[in-house]
Structure 1
Amino acid sequence: MPVEVVMPKLGMAMKEGTVSQWNKTEGDPVKKGDPIANINSEKIEMEIESPADGRVLKISVSEGEGVPPGTVICYIGDENEKVPANQTPVKEPEKTEQKDETSAAQPAEITKTPLRQEKERIKISPVARKMAAAANLNIADLKGTGPGGRITKEDVQRELKANKERTAAKQPALEQPKRIPVAGMRKVIADRMQNSLQSTAQLTITMKADVTELVALQKQAKETVVKRYGNKLTITDFIARAVVLALKQHPNMNSAYIEDEIRTYPQVHLGIAVALEKGLVVPVIRNADSKQLIELSKEIKAKAKAARENNLSGDEMQGSTFTISSLGASGVEFFTPILNPPEAGILGVGVVTDEAVFVGETIEKRSRLPLSLTFDHRVLDGAPAAAFLQTVKQYLEEPITMLL
């Protein structure tokens, strides 16, 4: 009996997953544990491994196609095994006349049918197909040198090189742009950021906080904290604590604009943006207002580590009420962070720099931290937003108050 490979459920809120790339084609041999496909949902992207030895008998979901969790995306089995017809979720062309309330629109199925037929006519690896699509090559014109005339990555590269040489011969000065399809995590981030700017009234205000005493306190407490708690306190930990305390004093910033109403939350669920190789994720520290500085610090580091190792679930990246994003490690001072919908605020943190500052009548070297607050003007106005940022600044300039 063939083994079904199904679309996994990546978090409680997941409604649909997409096959971003097939690493195997129908008929390919596989061993248990071999990566056979990449799938993604929201900001999670992961590999699907073969659950058994055998061959890929049937691919039921095309690349780029979204399906609900639990849908069979392919079958693994012995070469002579047959896939049960009544279990194959792919709709055949002759069934398109049937009216199904769960089908959004029949024209989408009609346009997909020639693509599936083309995949059956032309043998081509998934990587080669992607490369050809990115370069706008007609795969019917490509000559395959792989087993059974299959078009390989090298065949596409050979054709691209030949095209480049032909173009250079005709127009030596013309440079061909590099085309990269937007998919997976990059596509999700692009859509969310565009939607954020289009659906909210965003405004950014800035301040600088004098963190000279904070830097000194952090260095002074370093050895003691590591020895007692096995944890290292960072400036980011203190900033997170300052933000949580300020949100409790200014609850209108701990709000969201949803369906023409402002929803103010009693708890603070703090999002901490983490940069990854393929994009950006925002793990959430739930009930951050109930945690002391050390607890907050440990959870921030644990969530960041899980994010970099791709071990976060979808639920761990949803439900934040306010977000912190830092570009200090990149040497950036002020910037304009984009809201993480439907939140009303996000704080951008820059790099700490030493500056010459007048203190009374004398000039002193002080450590200064740039802060950029983007807020939704539909939820609150400039004055209350500035009051919130001023409170964050006060906590950072008087760090002892965060420990009391």
Structure 2
Amino acid sequence: MPHPLLMPKLGLTMTEGLLSEWLVTIGAQFKMGDTLFVVETDKVATEVEAQADGVLADIVVGPGQTVPVGAVVGSWTESAQEGPSGAIRILATPLARRMAAHQGIVLESVDGSGPGGRIKAADVEEAAKQHVPMSHSEATATAPEPVTAASQSGAMSDTVDLGMRSKPDSIHATMARRLTEVKQTVPHFYMSIDVQAAPLLALRAQRNQLTSATHLTLTHFLVAAVGRALRDTPRANRVWDHGDVVTYDSTDVGLAVNTERGLFVPVVRGAGNASLDEVSRRTANKVMDARDGKLSPDDSAGGAISISNAGMYKVKYLTPIINPGQAMILGVGSINQIFRPDDQGRPVLCQEMGLVLAADHRILDGVSGLHFLNCVVGYLEQPLKLLDGNP
């Protein structure tokens, strides 16, 4: 008897979802834990896994369709049969399969650490350290062929590399589409400023020398400073949503996190009303969840601003694109040493950090945007204010 597959409720505020991709075909067998289809919400793409072994019987909702939570998207039947020709099916996540094909790893040689021996991305990374090569026949079967002018004409001696085409995974495709839409529909404007970082670096170094203290990074100070600035300038804590202005009470701050699966932006809740140690703890937990693939759609929902910190990559300024559904994003560059004249005109070696604030002109104008940015700078240049136990 067929069992329905439903559009899951992936977050508290989710009412509908876009089914972006089916990863199994009608009649294909799957195991518990295999990814059946991918659902996109406002911020993230989520792989929906099978809760039991079975066979996909029908697809009701095709790729690209949006349906309400609870709607039937397909059906499956129970089956205890083996795969085609009695072959043993290797349990592996889609990401693990892509990584294995890219790195030439034989999946049969990888020990899976997931449920039922399912191979995860971390297992492939561990196998890659031992360099288990893929056989020539497997590599030929899985690797896409490069297209060259010579392969098309068969007569040219000087080939022109026309590149190699491949389809992006669902997470990459979601990110590309949403950022393109934001850049095309949100009127961005930008403000940049250099922060005197010497007091911040000195305080951080002294604070981290205390053995009982929480280890603080510059990102923790940035999240706290942006949160406090939202608290001090409530009119900046707003977003534009389909013709309405939505005002937030909670001083939530998103943080761009680069992972092996792509870029995610979890939100640190209440950053403007928490102590610096608590901000550090909340931020670390969100970063860990993002890198472990444990974020839910609710973890990336809400907030008027995000931070994209590229300071570790030796860049003076980063001019970012606003995260979908928000009104601002703060790009953070590296700390650079530069000579500046003092009050008497004598050169003084300074440590400066470049900030670029991208803002939605439907929410902020130049004056209000600069007021918010200068508020952030004030906390970073006088970081003792961020150590207050009762912000």
TM-score between the two structures when normalised by the length of structure 2: 0.73
Cα RMSD (Å): 3.2
Aligned positions of 1:72-111 closer than 5 A: 72-78=73-79
Q: C-alpha deviations, 1:142-201, integer Å up to 9, x for none?
A: xxxxxxxxxx9966869x479987426234433233223345222222232222223222
* Matches of 1:268 and 1:170, distance apart in 2: 65
Kept in 1: contact 2:26–2:59 (CA 8 A): yes
1:37 matched to 2:36? The reply is: yes
- The answer on 1:268 being equivalent to 2:251 is yes
How many Å separate the matches in 1 of 2:314 and 2:338?
A: 15
Match of 2:91 in 1: none
CA separation of 1:53 and 1:202: change in aligned 2, threshold 3 A: closer
Q: Deviations over 1:305-344 (max 9, x none)?
A: 1111111111121111222111112222212212224433
Partners of 1:342 and 1:207 lie apart in 2 by 25
Once residues 267 and 55 of structure 1 are traced to their aligned partners in structure 2, the CA distance between those partners, rounded to angstroms, is 45
2:165 corresponding residue in structure 1: 179
AA of the residue aligned to 1:249:
D
Cα displacement (A) at 1:25: 4.1
Q: Superposition pairs for residues 117-266 of structure 1, below 5 Å? A: 160=145, 166-167=151-152, 169-171=154-156, 172-182=158-168, 184-224=170-210, 227-228=212-213, 231-266=214-249
Query: Match for residue 316 of structure 2?
Result: 333
AA of the residue aligned to 2:232: Q
Q: Is the 8 A contact 1:58 1:76 kept in 2?
A: no
Give the number of aligned pairs.
Answer: 329
Structure holding more helix per residue:
1
Supply the distance in 1 between the matched residues of 2:18 and 2:77 (Cα, whole angstroms): 20
Shift of 1:65: 5.2
Mean alpha-carbon deviation: is it higher for 60-69 or for 178-187?
60-69
Contact 1:55 1:79 in 2 (8 A): no
- In the alignment, what sits opposite 2:357? 373
Task: Show structure 2 runs of 5+ residues with no match.
Answer: 82-93, 99-137
The one of 254, 268, 275 equivalent to 1:285 is 268
TM, length-normalised to structure 1 = 0.71
- Aligned partners of 1:7 and 1:73 also within 8 Å: no
Distance apart, 1:68 and its partner CA: 4.2
Matching residue of 2:332: 349
Please state whether the residue corresponding to 1:18 is helix, strand or coil: strand
Cα deviation, residue 47, structure 1: 4.2
Q: Say if 1:346 and 1:374, in contact at 8 Å, map to a contact too.
A: yes
**Structure 2 contact 147–161 (Cα < 8 Å) conserved:** no
The alpha-carbon distance between structure 1 residues 45 and 249, as it changes in their structure 2 partners (threshold 3 A), is closer
Which position in structure 1 is the counterpart of 2:51? 51
CA distance in 1 between counterparts of 2:227 and 2:334 reads 20
Task: Tell me the residue number matched to 2:278.
Answer: 295
What whole-Å deviation, never above 9, does each CA across 1:202-233 have from its counterpart, x for those lacking one?
11111111111110110111132x524xx311
Whole-Å Cα distance in 2 between the matches of residues 7 and 260 of structure 1?
Answer: 28
The whole-number CA distance in structure 1 between the counterparts of 2:147 and 2:257 is: 42
Distance 1:186 1:334, change over 3 A: same
1:41-65, CA deviations, whole angstroms, 9 ceiling, x for partnerless residues? Answer: 1344444444334544445555555
- In structure 1, the gaps of 5 or more residues are 81-126, 132-151
Give, in angstroms, the shift of residue 17 of structure 1: 4.0
User: 1:19–1:37: 8 Å Cα contact kept in structure 2?
Assistant: no
Q: Give the 4+ runs in structure 1 shifted more than 6 A.
A: 161-165
CA 1:19 to 1:379, structure 2 compared with 1: closer, same or farther past 3 Å?
A: closer
2:372 aligns with one of 378, 388, 396: 388
| Rg (Cα) greater in structure | 1
- Bigger shift: 347-356 or 171-180? 171-180
> How far off is 1:75 after superposition?
0.9
Determine the C-alpha separation between the residues in 1 that align with 2:334 and 2:3.
53
